[in-house]
């Protein structure tokens, strides 16, 4: 870059200098063709990852339809936490597979996604938090997931800025720690998948909103195509990866799923010198925070209580979040809220996703990730691509079928006091 060379620069390297350069070409903005073997509805992280892994299986006559700008929904709005320390075997399976893929994703995508394994602390503030935390740590270990239980002093060693003294309302009793957890740069991940998929010949089609489905033909339980704002597209298989907008698509198909879409807010501070070496989450004192590469603190706030598609939430949620942040991290007092925003999360009754068959034999569902979608991205893409290729749920996603709400075999992640987000 010429701008950099024109000025004398003897000072230490500024923090922004280490950010990677992006490739000169990312993806081809395709015009829709008349027909595809697979049509993926939703050009977010999950849709793009699914496309990438389909290409690896040799399936490239694929379209990814995005109603707005690519990866502009929750992928562009999440707080980029990656971890796999979930309680139940079913959840641990898919999230741990995802984490394994995250660990090789930079090479796989040949894209600097800024994946940084800095560990996550899930704080415990009450005796019951401690029990639940130990339970999760022990389950993680038996599932082969790195996890340990830390006392308050050890918490302070991992993250010195956490207030572990007893002078706060809900003192820290300890924390679970997953060292392999981390963060990555959400946009870069999406663009990396998009670039790979596009290179493989998959069509990425933006500004293409699905307005209906064509059913019938060989049987009433098949969908033969999707109607879009850019014309009707015939489809061999349809994969729904629309997160908060899934219900709208399912309504077009006359299929019901137990999904509720809520605003979920997040925020960032200005760029700060490194103070926060890990990720900290707390349910009781609701906060989760990491410090991104450029130096900004990235925080998630709570889910707004009501259904909403507005990509904005209420301010009292942010205020509460700030109170929690300053309570747990007194040094954050004069950090500044720079920007807040909201995504739309699709929440299920058991806080676990819904993946698999629909009543239409060639339409597959992937939704209900709530706050967990980003961290699952490569794992879901990998398992969902396999699901689409073979026309049956991959074993890792099989426990998450829609039928579990009928049988009662829920994967109850919030009931088990696991940590959201």
Partner 1 sequence: MSRVDGYGRIDRSRTVTVTVDGTAYTGHPGDTVASVLLAHGARPQNSSVKYGRPRGIGAAWTEDPVGLVQVEEPFPEPMLLAATVEATDGLVVRGVAGQGRLAEVPDTARYDRKHTHCDVLVVGAGPAGLVAARAAARAGRSVVLVDDRSAAGGTLTGTETIDGRPSLEFVADTVAELAALGVVHLQRTTAFGHYDDGFVLALERRGESARTRQRVHRIRAGRVVVAAGAIERPIAFEDNDRPGVVLAASARDLLHRHGVLAGREVVVFTSDDAAYAAAADLADAGASVRVLDARERAPQAGRRRCEERGVPVETGTLVHGTRGEDRVTAAVVGPDRREVPCDLLLVSGGWNPAAHLASHVGGSLVYDPVIGAFRPAELPPGVTVVGAANGTFALADVLREAGGPEAPVAPAQEWPEPTLVLWRTPGDPARQFVDIARDATVADVERAVGAGMSHPEHVKRYTTIGTAHDQGKTSGIIALGIIAELTGRPIQEVGTTTARPPYTPVAFAALAGRERGDLFDPVRTTALHAWHVAAGAEFEDVGQWQRARHYPRAGEDMTAAVLRECAAVRTSVGIMDASTLGKIDVRGPDAPVLLDRLYTNLMSSLKVGRVRYGVMCGNDGMVFDDGTVLRLAEDRYLVTTTTGNAAAVLDRMEEWLQTEWPDLRVRLTSVTEQWSIAAVAGPRSRDVIGAVFPGVDVSAEAFGFTTWQDTSLDGVPVRLARISFSGELAFEVTVSSPYAPALWERLVEAGAPYGITPYGTETMHVLRAEKGYPIIGQDTDGTVSPHDLGMAWAVSTKKDDFVGKRSYARAENRNPLRKQLVSLLPTDGATKLPEGSQIVAHCDDGRLPPAPVPMLGHVTSSYHSAALARPFALALVKGGRERLGEVVHVPVGDELVAARIGESVLVDPEGARRDG
Partner 2 sequence: MQLITCPWCGPREEIEFSYGGQAGVAYPEHPASLTDEQWAHFVFFRDNPKGPFAERWSHNAGCRRWFTAVRDTRTYRFLSSPTSNPELTS
From the list 94-102, 140-148, 305-313, 326-334, the region that binds partner 2 by CB under 8 A is 305-313
Among 307, 340, 398, 414, the residue binding partner 2 under the rule CB under 8 A is: 307
Among 141, 221, 270, 315, the residue binding partner 2 under the rule CB under 8 A is: 315
Edge-to-edge strand list for the sheet holding 81-82:
81-82, 182-183, 116-117
57 near partner 1 (CB under 8 A): no
Alpha-carbon distance of 72 to 343, in angstroms, equals 10
Joined tokens for residue 193: 């998948």
Residues 209 to 268: which contact partner 2 by CB under 8 A?
245, 247-248, 251, 256-261
Three-class DSSP category at 274: coil
141 binds, among partner 1, partner 2, none (CB under 5 to 8 A by kind): partner 1
Among 39, 70, 175, 355, the residue binding partner 1 under the rule CB under 8 A is: 70
Residues 381 to 410: which contact partner 2 by CB under 8 A?
405-407
Determine which helix (DSSP H) or strand (DSSP E) holds 38, and give its type and residue range.
Answer: strand 35-41
116 near partner 2 (CB under 8 A): no
136-145: buried (b, 16+ CB within 10 Å) or exposed (e) per residue?
A: bbebbeebeb
Is 310:263 a contact under the CB 8 Å cutoff? yes
Among 112, 151, 295, 401, the residue binding partner 1 under the rule CB under 8 A is: 295
Among 16, 20, 201, 277, the residue binding partner 1 under the rule CB under 8 A is: 16
Residues 329 to 348: which contact partner 2 by CB under 8 A?
346
255 near partner 1 (CB under 8 A): no
Determine which helix (DSSP H) or strand (DSSP E) holds 106, and give its type and residue range.
Answer: helix 89-109
The smaller minimum CB distance to partner 2, of residues 247 and 282, is found at 247
218 binds, among partner 2, partner 1, none (CB under 5 to 8 A by kind): none
Name the CA radius of gyration of the chain, rounded. Answer: 22
Joined tokens for residue 159: 């993250």
Is 400:90 a contact under the CB 8 Å cutoff? yes
Instruction: Please name the residue that has the structure tokens 């392999």.
Output: 180
Instruction: Please name the residue that has the structure tokens 């699905």.
Output: 210
Contacts of 189 (CB under 8 A, 6+ apart): 45, 75, 105, 109, 111, 113, 377
72 near partner 2 (CB under 8 A): no
178 near partner 2 (CB under 8 A): no
Among 20, 104, 144, 391, the residue binding partner 1 under the rule CB under 8 A is: 144
31 near partner 1 (CB under 8 A): no
The smaller minimum CB distance to partner 1, of residues 27 and 364, is found at 27
C-alpha 130 chain-centroid distance: 26
Of 128, 101, 174, 62, give the one whose Cα is nearest residue 376: 101
From the list 30-38, 222-230, 309-317, 385-393, the region that binds partner 2 by CB under 8 A is 309-317
15 near partner 1 (CB under 8 A): yes
Give CA separation, 408 vs 93, 357, 404, 412, 415, in Å. 20, 17, 6, 10, 14
| Residue 29 per-residue DSSP state | B
Tally Cβ neighbours within 10 Å of residue 11.
6
From the list 232-240, 327-335, 352-360, 368-376, the region that binds partner 1 by CB under 8 A is 327-335
307 binds, among partner 1, partner 2, none (CB under 5 to 8 A by kind): partner 2
**Minimum distance, C-beta of residue 241 to partner 1, in the bound complex (Å):** 19
137 near partner 1 (CB under 8 A): yes
Burial class (CB in 10 A: 0-12, 13-18, 19+), 211: middle
**Minimum distance, C-beta of residue 379 to partner 1, in the bound complex (Å):** 16
Residue length, the chain?
421
398 near partner 1 (CB under 8 A): no
Among 316, 336, 390, 392, the residue binding partner 2 under the rule CB under 8 A is: 316
From the list 113-121, 227-235, 271-279, 377-385, the region that binds partner 1 by CB under 8 A is 271-279
409 near partner 1 (CB under 8 A): yes
Of 377, 396, 387, give the one whose Cα is nearest residue 109: 377
Alpha-carbon distance of 277 to 152, in angstroms, equals 16
Among 110, 221, 256, 315, the residue binding partner 1 under the rule CB under 8 A is: 315
Residues 355 to 374: which contact partner 1 by CB under 8 A?
none
For partner 2, the binding residues (CB under 8 A) are 245, 247-248, 251, 256-261, 305-310, 314-316, 346, 349, 405-407
């Amino acid at each position: 870059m010429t701008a950099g060379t024109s000025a004398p620069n003897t000072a230490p390297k500024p923090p922004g200098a280490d950010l990677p350069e992006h490739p000169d070409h990312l993806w081809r903005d395709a015009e829709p063709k008349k027909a595809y073997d697979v049509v993926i509805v939703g050009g977010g992280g999950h849709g793009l990852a699914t496309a990438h892994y389909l290409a690896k299986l040799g399936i490239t006559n694929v379209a990814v339809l995005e109603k707005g700008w690519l990866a502009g929904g929750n992928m562009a709005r999440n707080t980029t936490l990656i971890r796999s320390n979930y309680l139940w075997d079913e959840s641990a399976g898919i999230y741990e597979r995802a984490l394994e893929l995250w660990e090789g994703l930079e090479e796989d995508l040949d894209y600097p996604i800024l994946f940084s394994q800095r560990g996550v602390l899930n704080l415990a503030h009450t005796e019951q938090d401690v029990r639940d935390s130990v339970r999760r740590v022990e389950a993680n270990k038996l599932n082969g997931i790195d996890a340990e239980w830390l006392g308050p002093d050890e918490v302070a060693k991992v993250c010195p800025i956490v207030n572990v003294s007893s002078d706060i309302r809900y003192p820290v009793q300890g924390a679970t720690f997953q060292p392999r957890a981390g963060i990555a740069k959400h946009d870069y991940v999406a663009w990396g998948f998009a670039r790979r998929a596009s290179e493989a010949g998959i069509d990425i089609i933006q500004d293409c909103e699905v307005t209906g489905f064509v059913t019938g033909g060989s049987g009433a339980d098949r969908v033969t195509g999707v109607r879009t704002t850019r014309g009707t597209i015939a489809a061999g298989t349809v994969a729904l990866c629309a997160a908060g907008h899934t219900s709208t698509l399912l309504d077009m198909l006359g299929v019901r799923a137990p999904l509720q879409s809520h605003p979920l807010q997040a925020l960032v501070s200005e760029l700060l010198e490194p103070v926060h070496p890990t990720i900290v989450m707390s349910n009781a004192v609701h906060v989760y925070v990491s410090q991104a590469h450029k130096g900004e603190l990235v925080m998630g706030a709570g889910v707004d209580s009501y259904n909403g598609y507005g990509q904005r939430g209420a301010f009292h949620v942010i205020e509460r979040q700030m109170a929690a942040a300053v309570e747990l991290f007194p040094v954050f007092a004069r950090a500044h809220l720079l920007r807040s925003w909201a995504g739309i999360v699709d929440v299920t009754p058991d806080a676990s996703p819904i993946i698999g068959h629909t009543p239409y034999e060639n339409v597959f569902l992937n939704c209900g990730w709530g706050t967990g979608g980003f961290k699952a991205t490569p794992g879901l893409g990998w398992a969902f691509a396999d699901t689409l290729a073979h026309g049956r749920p991959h074993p890792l996603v099989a426990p998450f079928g829609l039928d579990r709400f009928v049988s009662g075999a829920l994967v109850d992640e919030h009931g088990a006091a696991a940590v959201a987000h």
